[in-house]
Structure 1
Amino acid sequence: MVKQERALRTREALIKSAATVFDRDGFSVASLTAISSLAGVSNGALHFHFASKAGLADSVEEAAAERLDRIVTAHEGAVGNALQLLVNTSHDLARRLTEDVVLRVGFELSRDQVREGGGRLYRQWHQWVEGALKRADCEGVLNEVTPEEVAASVVAATTGFEVLRTQDPEWLSHRTITRFWQLLLPRLAAASVLGDLVAAGSRSR
């Protein structure tokens, strides 16, 4: 049991170190020696857990997917309708992308066209956003727009902010996400609920 716990801690340390080095140097340039050194383990220990840099990148993306899943389920049942749920979750995602290097690099790896199987996190986020909007439609809080059309716009904008953040952190700020929803909610929301929606995220978060 002790050995298993130690192995798990080592694996988690390597995943975080890999994300940090990928974030700093880029996946192509990042070296396994730099990753193992940052994690405080030998190259042999790294290769015990991961056969290659590509395998390590896959594990970073998988860990990021688990983080994204926790983000999108954290607010379930905490707000009155699915539109506010979507707003709150988008704010939480933006904040976590700023703070959590594993989540952030997972998205970066997910858009890397060189690696096979890319796009996992974007598909995961898109599916959740579309599902939330379909729930909003069933609740009667959408204003004559289709969930599919809105989901494409929301995903394009929110993931675009994540890409632009590399040039200016303000793109993922609370203010930027709030302004985005201030512009979009009047187009999306039924008049009966628009006044109750909080573009800055509701306090129930």
Structure 2
Amino acid sequence: MVKQERAARTREVLVRAAAEVFAEEGFVTASIAAISKRAGVSAGGLHFHFGSKTALAEAVARRASATLRTITVSRVPDGNALQTLVDSTHELMELLARDPVVNAGFGLCAGTGAVTLTARGGGAGWDLRVQWQRWVEGTFRAAQREGRLADGVSPQAAAAAVVAAMVGFGVLGAGAGGSRQFGPSGVTPYWQLMLPRLAARGSLGELVPDGSDAVRASLPY
């Protein structure tokens, strides 16, 4: 049991180290040596747990996908799908800012990393952007059923716009030189601009652009 626990801890350290290196350098540029050094695990130890860099990327993608589910598919709109969506975008942006696994997971969905994962049969199922967009679109459809979505607003088009904005905020707000207006604190102004266009007449007053009470209490900004 102790040996199994030690192995699980080592795998956890390796996944986080790989995520940090992927986020900083990109999948193609990242090296096993850099990941091994970051984790404080020998190259031999790394290969014992993960046979290749792609296997590490798959582990990062799986972990990021599971974390994303905690703020998407596990969250059921409770009478106000639009507020649920607003809350989830605040949580997602905070995750992108502080969780290297989620950050790297989104990065692995694009470019050569995505091609590599898909070629091995895993990338399509762990594509966080697809996962996120499907949930956002489903939430807009829920808002439409509730009568809270403005007439003429397409759930599909609205979802595409929100997903593009949040992913863009995550990219532009990343790193030490990232702009605050594109980081987590930029989500509130975004919703202040968008909600009057998306919400049905009479529903706007029910919505809180900076997140519901529970979400605001959990955020550092």
TM over 0.5: same fold?
Answer: yes
Count of residue pairs brought into register by the alignment: 203
C-alpha contact (below 8 Å) 2:21/2:30 kept by paired residues: yes
Name the amino acid aligned to 1:55: A
What SS does structure 2 have at the residue aligned with 1:71?
coil
TM-score (ref. length: structure 2): 0.85
What SS does the corresponding residue of 1:191 show, helix, strand or coil? coil
Residue from 127, 135, 142 that aligns with 2:142: 135
Shift in Å at residue 59 of structure 1? 1.2
Deviations along 1:83-115, whole A, 9 cap, x unmatched? 000000001100111000111011111112453
The worse-fitting range, judged by mean Cα deviation, of 40-49 and 21-30 is 21-30
Deviation at 1:159, TM superposition (A): 1.1
Normalised by the size of structure 1, how large is the TM-score? Answer: 0.91
1:197 to 196, 207, 217: 207
Runs ≥4 residues deviating over 6 A: none
Cα distance, 1:163 vs. partner? 2.0
1:160-199 to 2 correspondences below 5 Å: 160-166=168-174, 168-170=178-180, 171-174=182-185, 176-199=186-209
Unmatched runs of 5 consecutive residues or more in structure 1: none
Shift of 1:49: 1.3
Rounded to whole Å, the distance in 2 between the matches of 1:100 and 1:52 is 23
How far, CA to CA, are the matches of 1:204 and 1:136 in structure 2?
20
Residues 16, 100 of structure 2: 8 Å contact kept: yes
- Percent of paired sites with the same residue: 47
C-alpha distance in 2, partners of 1:14/1:182? 40
Looking at structure 2, the residues matched to 127 and 55 of structure 1 have their Cα atoms a distance apart, in angstroms, of 26
Q: Which residue of structure 2 aligns with residue 157 of structure 1? A: 165
State the partner residue of 2:218.
none
